[in-house]
Amino acid sequence: MAGNVDEWVSDWYSAEYYSVSPSTNPPGPESGTYKGCRGGSSHADAPYLRTFYRSYVEPELYGWSIGFRCVKAIQ
């Protein structure tokens, strides 16, 4: 999964959010300036290729190194 593209997440980004969020399935901040991304693209250096790596980008940003992951919720 890592090394393909930076993956958009639906959450807004806040550097401090996880210190005040619920421990299970945190919903993310209600608003913000940047959107969250996970992982790293094939253009990233090795430390950024972990699936849990968090970064942020402007919501209007697009390009060859940003994508998304389709998932199916299992209940």
* Tokens found for residue 57: 């980008």
42 part of a folded domain: yes
Q: What is the dihedral of CA 14, 18, 45, 5, to 10 degrees?
A: -70
pTM for the full predicted model: 0.70
31 part of a folded domain: yes
How many domains are there within the chain? 1
Q: If we measure between CA atoms, which residue out of 29, 2, 3 comes closest to residue 18?
A: 29
72 part of a folded domain: no
CA 55 – CA 37 distance, rounded (Å): 5
* Tokens found for residue 20: 């005040």
Sorted by sequence, the CB contacts under 8 Å of residue 48 that are 6+ apart come out as 39, 40, 55
| Containing structural domain, residue 58 | 6-67
Q: How confident is the model at residue 1 (pLDDT cuts 50, 70, 90)?
A: low
pLDDT at residue 64, as a whole number:
84
75 part of a folded domain: no
What confidence tens digit (pLDDT) does each residue in 19-67 have? 999 988 888 899 999 999 888 888 888 888 887 888 898 988 888 888 8
74 part of a folded domain: no
1 part of a folded domain: no
50 part of a folded domain: yes
